[in-house]
A = this chain, B = another copy of it.
Amino acid sequence: MPETLLSPRNLAFELYEVLDAEALTQRPRFAEHSRETFDAALTTARTIAEKYFAPHNRKADENEPRYVDGRAELIPEVKPAVDAFLDAGFLNANRDFEAGGMQLPSLVSQACFAHFQAANAGTTAYPFLTMGAANLIESFGSEEQKRLFLQPMIEGRYFGTMALTEPHAGSSLADIRTRAEPAGDGSYRLKGNKIFISGGDHELSENIVHMVLAKLPDAPPGVKGISLFIVPKYLVNQDGSRSERNDVLLAGLFHKMGWRGTTSTALNFGDNGQCVGYLVGQPHQGLACMFQMMNEARIGVGMGAVMLGYAGYLYSLEYARQRPQGRLPDSKDPQSPAVPIIGHSDVKRMLLTQKAYVEGAFDLGLYAARLFDDTQTADDQSSRQQAQTLLDLLTPIVKSWPSAYCLKANELAIQILGGHGYTREYPVEQYYRDNRLNPIHEGTEGIQSLDLLGRKLAQHNGAGLKQLIRLIASTAERASHHPGLDTLRQPLEQLVNRLQAVTLALLGDLAQGKVNAALANSSLYLKAFGHCVIGWRWLEQALHAELGLLKGTAADRDFYQGKLQAARYFLTWEVPGCHNELALLEARDDTCLSMQEEWF
C-alpha cells in the first residue's frame, strides 16, 4: 500500500541518519528513551492519524463548522479523533513524566505531530492551539493559574486559543484596542473584539481558555503596552469546578477557502461589561510572552505547511505511477501502449520539484525542532544559547519557506492530476486550499521578511548569521571530500558568499538609518536567504545519501539516488536563480519603493 502521510523511510533517514536522534538519549532528560521508544511513539501517531484523522478530512472540508444558537457546531468525527490524540498522550509529548507527559524530545514529538498535520490539518489545529496556550501558561502563569487552567488543559479537559488579531489592526498588534480594567480583586474586565480566532468556539472540551492580548489603562502606546490575559469561556471556581459562562460572545464564523475544519471565529469580549480575565506575567510584557511561545508555534506552522505539501506530493506520485497516458516524444507508433505519466520528463520535473520542496522543508522543520531541544537540553549553557541564537534567526524561514514552497508543491500536485486535480473528487485541491492559509497566519510572508532582515540578523551582534555561515562551511567542507557532490556544493558556496556580502551591506544601510530603502526589498532577501538555508540542508542530505550509498544495502540504493537527484534539482535549478534577487538587492533597486500610489 502506498504511503499517504509521509514516507517512513525518509523519516528514519532524517531522524537516525541526518539529525542523529539517538544522540539525544545520551542526555539526562531523555535517558529513558531509545530508538525503540521513539519508533513506538511514531507508530502510534501514524496509526491514530490514519484511523481517526485522515478519514474525515474531506468530510470536514465539505461540512464546515456552523453557527447554531450562538455556538459553533462541528461534525461528530472531530471529537473521537481529538480524544484518541489526547488518550495517546500526544498533547503532553514533551512534558515531564511526572506531569503525565511522555518527556519526548521536540524532534520526535514534531515528527509524531507531522502525521496528524498530513492527515487532517483542520482537526489537528484544536490540540495544536491548546498546546500553544498551555505552554504560555506554563512559562508565564502563576501557580494558581497553572492549577486552575493549565492542569485541566494537560488533562485534555480544557482547550485553548490565541486571541491576537483585531478587525482594524490586522498584523499591526501595536494598534489593538481591547482594554483590560482592574476589577479590584486581582482580576480584570476586558472589552474588545477579536477576529480570525481559530478554535474560538466548539464543544470538544469542557472549557476554552483564550489567551488574549489587551491593553491596561496605564499602557504606554504601541507594542510596549500590550499585556497577556487568560479569559476562559466558562469561569472556574477556586476548587477547579466549572462556573458560569464568562462574557465572551461568539459573534460569528469566518468562511474560509480551506482549512475549513477549524472554526475561525469573531469573538466579542465584554459586550455586557462582565468579561473576566487574569493577567499572565508582567503588565505590558504580553508581546514578549507571546513571542517566546511563538518560536515553537512557528515551527509547528511551518511543519503544517510541509505536511500538506508532503501529502499532495505522495498522492500525485502514486497517481503518476498508476495513470497511463500518452507516449514519449520519440515514440512514433500510436499503437504502442501508453506510458504511465511518471515517464514524461515534465511530470518528473513536477514530482522532483515537489520532492525537493517538501523533503527540504521537512528536514528544516525537524532540524529546527532539534535546535529547540538543544536550547533546552544541550550539555552546557553556552551550547543552549548558541542553539537559541540560531533558532531565532531561522524561525522566519522555518515558518515562511514551507508556507511559500510547499504551497507551490500543492499547485504542482494539482497540475499532475490534470482535470482530476481540479475536482473535489480527489484530495489535492483541498491540500492547496488548506495550505493557502499558511503564508498569512502567524505572521505573513512580508512580516517574516521584515523580522528576518530588520530584526533577527542584527540580534546578538549578528552571532546567528556567523553561526549559520560556519555550519554551512562545515557541510561544504565535508561535501568537498565527495567529488560527486562538487556540482551541488559550488552553487551553494557562490550563493552564500554573495548573500553574506549583501547582508553586510544592508545591515550597514540600516545602521546608517536608511531604514525604508534597506527594507524595501525584504521579500527578495527572504527568498534568497531561504533558498540558501534549504540549499544547505539539501547538501547535508546529499552528504548523508552518499554515506548511505557507501555502506548501505542494495535495497536502499534507490532511496539514496532519489535524495541525490532531488538535491541536484534544488542546488542546480533553484539556487542559481537567486542571483537575480541578490543583484537587485545589491543595486538597492527602488522600483517598488518609488512606485507612487496614484500611478496605479
Contact = CB atoms under 8 A, between A and B. Distances in A.
Interface residues of A, number: 103
Contacts of A436: 411, 414, 422, 429, 432
Q: Can you list the 7 inter-chain pairs with the closest CB atoms, starting with the nearest?
A: A222-B334, A562-B599, A345-B520, A257-B429, A349-B592, A172-B326, A577-B580
A407 to B, nearest CB: 8
Interface string A434-456: 00110111001110011000100
A386 B543 CA distance: 55
Nearest to A195: B419
Interface in A48-105: none
A169 interface: yes
Contact of A415 (B334, B445, B584): B445
Contact of A440 (B257, B338, B422): B422
A444 B424 contact: no
A584 B580 contact: no
Interface in A557-595: 558-559, 561-562, 565, 568-569, 572-573, 576-577, 579-580, 583-584, 589, 591-595
A255 B346 contact: no
Interface of A: 165, 168-172, 174-175, 195-196, 221-224, 254-258, 264, 317, 321, 323-330, 334-335, 338, 340, 342-349, 351-352, 355, 411, 414-415, 418-419, 421-425, 429, 432-433, 436-437, 439-441, 444-446, 449-450, 454, 513, 515-516, 519-523, 558-559, 561-562, 565, 568-569, 572-573, 576-577, 579-580, 583-584, 589, 591-600
Nearest to A225: B334
Nearest to A565: B595
Identify which of A168, A257, A437 gathers the most chain B CB atoms within 10 Å of its CB: A257
A312 to B, nearest CB: 13
Nearest to A334: B222
Given A329-B515, A569-B591, A444 B423 contact: no
Given A257-B424, A422-B440, A573-B584, A343 B597 contact: yes
A572 B591 contact: yes
* Residue of A422, A516, A598 most packed against chain B (CB within 10 A): A422
B257 A561 contact: no
B515 A330 contact: yes
A267 to B, nearest CB: 14
A423 B597 contact: no
Contacts of A576: 580, 583
Given A352-B592, A419-B170, A595-B565, A449 B346 contact: yes
